[in-house]
């Protein structure tokens, strides 16, 4: 089946995701639970990584995870702050990018 939908992704997003398998895993995990918001520890468990590494991918942290390449800064993930807690959810654009990643890199697998 030929996909007739034209979809353009910012090259900065492709570069950011290609540099980090963890960013890809986080994006796909959040796409799987969409439209639900979730908290950092649940994301870390879902992608089998340390919460500090997940936070670095989401927000950026020091030299290892550049803030300009973070999922939030790229507009792929949004934060909801409520009662002193932070919850994360994939954006609509992030969902489209996640679908592209699944088709392109994972052969349509989730």
Does residue 77 fall inside a structural domain?
yes
Please report the DSSP string for 92-104 in residue order: HHHHHHHHHHHHH
63-79 burial, b if ≥16 CB within 10 A, otherwise e?
Answer: eebeeebbbbbbebbbe
CATH number at residue 18: 1.10.10.10
Per-residue pLDDT of the chain (110 residues; tens, 9 = 90+): 455 455 678 888 988 898 899 999 999 999 999 999 999 999 999 999 999 999 999 998 876 677 788 999 999 999 999 999 999 999 999 999 999 988 887 665 55
Q: How many domains does the chain have?
A: 1
Backbone phi, psi, residue 7, to 5°: -140, 125
Residue 29 lies in a domain: yes
- Indicate whether 6 belongs to any domain: no
From CA 80, how far away is CA 62, in angstroms rounded?
Answer: 23
Note down the domain range covering 53: 11-105
């Amino acid at each position: 089946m030929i996909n007739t939908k034209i979809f353009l992704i910012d090259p900065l997003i492709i570069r950011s995701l290609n540099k980090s398998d963890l960013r890809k895993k986080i994006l796909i995990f959040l796409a799987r639970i969409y439209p639900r918001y979730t908290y950092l520890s649940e994301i870390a468990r879902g992608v089998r990584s340390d919460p500090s590494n997940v936070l670095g991918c989401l927000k950026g942290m020091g030299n290892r995870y550049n803030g300009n390449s973070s999922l939030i800064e790229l507009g792929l993930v949004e934060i909801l702050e409520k009662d002193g807690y932070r919850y994360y959810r994939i954006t609509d654009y992030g969902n489209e990018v996640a679908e592209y990643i699944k088709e392109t890199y994972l052969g349509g697998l989730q």
